[in-house]
Amino acid sequence: MMNSKGNAWSEKMAQSYMKSNPDLYERWSHEYGVIFKAMERLWRRTGNRMYFNYIQRNIDKNINESGKIVRGYQVEEFKVDAINSGKALFALFEITGDIRYKKVILTLADQLRIQPRTKEGVFWHKLVYPYQIFLDGFYMWAPFYAEYAEKFNESTIFDDIANQIIVAATHTKDVNTGLHYQAWDEKKEIFWCNKQTGCSHSFWSRTNGWFSMAMIDVLDFFPETHVKRNKIVEIFKNQIEGLIKVQDPGTGLWYQVLDKGDRKENYLETSGSNMFIYSIAKGIRKGYLNKSLLTVLNKAYNGLLTHMVETDDSGMISIKGTCKSASLGDAPHKDSTFEYYVSEPAVADDIKGIGTFILASNEVELLA
């Protein structure tokens, strides 16, 4: 493990968050899963056990002695978001050997085996969103399923993951920009979709971020010889090319609606920017992206630190500018238009902004 620099932003943010949020267990949450993954990455890089202990203590309070999740998980809801916190369990089981962690891993994998799908084999986002693919969900389930496939030697799962990424990318990609729409309705009927294409109407920053992080993380586990591995790399690289074209030239960040930076109602959005920084940094580190993109990366990260990150007199770190939520379909105004996305407020210290900032900073620091 690499030793961390004492002034690393990843650790400063993580330690600020742990100090103000020692308890992270009142529900089984995809948002908590982002924090847990960030803490795991810090533990693996620095060797500092406090990050591992933070994960373990909070996970343990939501798993009973028989290895069941006790708060906020119902398999019958078939929410792919529910898978995300399961990523932390691989490290817990690896280090402790506690069978409870393995039981939860198997429970979540079993959900994916029976998850409802479109005709082309892509998971519904959840049961109450029938026939609908949301790119957000790929980060929640795909890296977990890929790690499960590797750890438990179920190689056919890689075929399934690759097919789902390829099909979803095909349906949601805009060929003119290289950007992706948030969601696609197989029936082409839901009120938020384009009735000709089935896609939602706008390029939301965070959904593109979730998808890029999903692909770069999935590749950590995919066999080098897998016939569709290079196709995933191609989709990832094409998306990054599209994102670079809409990077704000002034700040280096990205807008809430990616291709509408000239609209005054639009705003620079932190969580998506974090995710793109993470994806570009990791893509460079892993050799998927050219090192010439370091210029793009440095501009983005410096812009993030300049415009979105603040430190108070006590040394606590705060990060502003994260869209609180932008779901589709559960209310009539959530219609995927530009007006809807920019109406959702940007807030300070949202957990998604904090977790992805730690992940992004850790990747930047690995390149240093």
Instruction: Show the domains of the chain with their CATH numbers.
Output: 75-367 (1.50.10.10)
Our CA angle for 140, 361, 348, nearest 5°, is 75
110 class by beta-carbon count within 10 Å (0-12 exposed, 13-18 middle, 19+ buried): exposed
- Span 307-333, pLDDT tens digits: 999 999 998 999 999 999 999 988 899
Helix axes 136-151, 156-172, angle to 10 degrees: 160
Would you say residue 2 has pLDDT above 50? no
What pLDDT, on the 0 to 100 scale, is given for residue 329? 87
For 256, residues 6+ apart whose C-beta sits below 8 A from its C-beta are: 204, 205, 266, 267, 268, 269, 272, 323, 341, 342, 344, 346
Rg (CA), the chain: 19
Is pLDDT of 3 > 70?
no
Q: With contact defined as beta carbons under 8 Å apart, do 246 and 179 qualify? A: yes
Percent of the chain past pLDDT 90, that is, above it, reads: 97
Kind of pairing between the strands at 317-319 and 322-323: unpaired
Task: Tell me the per-residue pLDDT of 142-175, one tens digit each, with 9 for 90 and over.
Answer: 999 999 999 999 999 999 999 999 999 999 999 9
pLDDT(129) > 70 = yes
Give the per-residue pLDDT at 4. 38
3-state helix, strand, coil in the chain (%, to 5): 55, 5, 40
**Sign (positive or negative) of CA dihedral 20, 22, 28, 31:** positive
Q: How far apart are CA 258 and CA 202, in angstroms?
A: 8
Q: Which pLDDT tens digit goes with each residue over 166-206?
A: 999 999 999 999 999 999 999 999 999 999 999 999 999 99
Helix axes 30-46, 9-20, angle to 10 degrees: 130
Q: How far apart are CA 147 and CA 108, in angstroms?
A: 12
Give catalytic residues, as residue numbers.
136
Q: Count the Cβ atoms, other than its own, within 10 Å of residue 227.
A: 10
Share of the chain above pLDDT 70, in %: 98
Which residues have a Cβ under 8 Å from the Cβ of 154 and sit 6 or more positions away? 148
Average pLDDT estimate for 99-106: 99
1 neighbors 46 (Cβ within 8 angstroms): yes
**Mean model confidence pLDDT for the chain:** 97
| Helix, strand counts (H, E) of the chain | 13, 6
**Which residues have C-beta within 8 Å of that of residue 300, sequence separation ≥ 6?**
247, 252, 253, 254, 273, 276, 277, 280
Residue 1 clears pLDDT 60, i.e. is over it: no
Q: Give residue 7's pLDDT band: very low, low, confident or very high (50, 70, 90).
A: low
- Spatial CB neighbours of 199, under 8 Å, sequence gap ≥ 6: 171, 172, 181, 183, 184, 193
Residue 106 has pLDDT above 70, yes or no: yes
pLDDT over 60 (residue 70)? yes
User: Quick one: which of 357, 367, 365 has its CA closest to 13?
Assistant: 357
Between 6 and 84, the more confident residue is 84
Mean pLDDT of 320-348: 96
Note the pLDDT tens digit of each residue in 213-235. 999 999 999 999 999 999 999 99
pLDDT at 5 > cutoff 90: no
- Stretch 43-56: mean pLDDT, rounded? 98
Query: Using CA atoms, how far apart are residues 206 and 269, in angstroms rounded to an integer?
Result: 8
State the pTM of this model: 0.97
